[in-house]
Structure 1
Amino acid sequence: MSSFSQSANKIFDEVVAFYHVLDQVDQEGKNPYATDTIDYLLYQKNWIDSVQWHVEDLIREPEIEPSLALSYKRRIDALNQERTDTVERIDDYFLAKFAAVPAKSNRLNTESPAWAIDRLSILALKIYHMAIEAERVDTPIDQQARCKQKLAILLEQREDLSTAIDQLLEELAQGEKQMKVYRQMKMYNDPQLNPVLYQKKA
């Protein structure tokens, strides 16, 4: 039986591979999982990350038209909000999953499971793209070597983070740690809390 992190990494790699078949930021994600499952949320999370990764590349084009850059910036803002919303939905899943677990300790973790999973999702993209850079034959040998070293570190980081996530989930399941979630409460996207937005209405 695979661990949670193994299943998550499999889904993340699946999404990254699917995205790069067309490699277009406007393509449809086609989430194959049932909407009421954690797998659906994991797929959705990495799809958002994959699109945002490539929009972030596009906006750095040196000769980009200002109007196009602004549209990309707006899209990045929207993707960031969607990413945060999805992370919080993943935490909602774990809150429900562990709600009835008797507390054996009041120990807390520095971050919720979903925000650790957020980092795991982004690692899948880093690994995919660094592997490409490590194998490029049109770059200097020393650059290839640096990329191979970075790839090795990223792979080690994924292994360690995966282990840490599985350990955290086990501790939560046993009541050895308590799950406590603080919502991001971002203000800049809220027309009632961003002064630039609400002062326009005054």
Structure 2
Amino acid sequence: MFTELCNQIFDQSIADYHVHNSVYQPIQNPYEKTAIEHLLYLKNWIDTVQWHLEDIIRDPLIDPVKALEIKRWIDKSNQERTDVVEYIDSYFLEKYNDVTPGAGASINTESPAWAVDRLSILALKIYHMREEATRTDATPAHREACQRKLDVLLEQRKDLGTAINQLLEDIAAGNKYMKVYKQMKMYNDPSLNPVLYKSASN
């Protein structure tokens, strides 16, 4: 099943990141650039770095200049994340290019890759909630509460994985069809963000 591959690669990416646990470490993607595994690893690596950037920027003692640097880094990361999601959807479009949708075929509320995006974030939640559930310096009550949350996250991953696999089966059978809508983010575009184009004209 496709989502089993996703979960395996996401867990690998997260484990690789935590060897050094630094947002500044370069990615070492082990997969060929033409393979879907490469995109999945890249997707989760971006998510993992951004997860830790979001932790860093919430430090109440962070230097304001450093905070601005991190905020801009997060903005750039969001754009990269969106781009990779669209690349993954392009993979699915090519994969199912020869499928003719049936007369009653319907479109899904989200594309396969945006569902995979949620699966990637779930992998991070599971990793870090498991850390909290096994923290030796935390109280038993804390560990028990986190274990309950971890159980829910694991069930959520199972359900989401089942739904994604079913969606892909429906697309392959012509019962569903997909479209890729470019996200058209405006805040990074100097021609669409009023703050940027007004400052450029001054």
Taking structure 2 as the reference length, what is the TM-score of the superposition? Answer: 0.97
Task: Please report how far the alpha carbon of residue 106 of structure 1 lies from its aligned counterpart in structure 2 after TM superposition.
Answer: 2.8
Higher deviation after alignment, 154-163 or 136-145: 136-145
What is the percent sequence identity of the aligned residues? 59
1:22 aligns with 2:20: yes
Q: Secondary structure at the match of 2:199?
A: coil
Residue aligning to 1:41: 39
Amino acid at match of 2:53: V
SS at match of 1:64: coil
Larger mean CA deviation between 132-141 and 149-158 belongs to 132-141
Matches within 5 A, 1:133-172: 133-172=132-171
Aligned equivalent of 1:31: 29
The DSSP-based 3-state class of the residue aligned with 2:23 is: coil
Whole-Å Cα distance in 2 between the matches of residues 84 and 180 of structure 1? 15
Report the Cα offset of residue 17 of structure 1.
Answer: 0.4
Match of 1:102 in 2: 100
Match of 1:85 in 2: 83
Matched position secondary structure for 1:199: helix
For 2:106 and 2:169, the matched residues in 1 are separated by 14
Q: C-alpha displacement at 1:145, in angstroms?
A: 1.0
Distance (whole Å) between structure 2 residues aligned to residue 71 and residue 24 of structure 1: 16
- Matched to 2:37, the amino acid is D
Moved over 3 A (4+): none
What is the CA-CA distance between 1:201 and the residue it aligns to? 2.1
Equivalent positions of 1:115-194 (< 5 A) are 115-194=114-193
Partner-residue secondary structure (3-state), 2:164: helix
Match of 1:60 among 58, 61, 65: 58
Name the SS of the counterpart of 2:34 in structure 1.
coil
Q: Could you tell me which runs of 5 or more consecutive residues in structure 2 were left unpaired when the two chains were aligned.
A: none
For residue 167 of structure 1, give the secondary structure of its aligned residue in structure 2: helix
**1:129-177, CA deviations, whole angstroms, 9 ceiling, x for partnerless residues?**
0001001122222111110000000000000001111000010011110
Equivalent-residue separation in structure 2 for 1:28 and 1:137 (angstroms): 30
- Structure 1 window deviating more from structure 2 (75-84 vs 136-145): it is 136-145
Name the CA distance, whole Å, in 2 between partners of 1:156 and 1:110.
21
Task: Specify the code of the residue in structure 2 equivalent to 1:137.
Answer: T
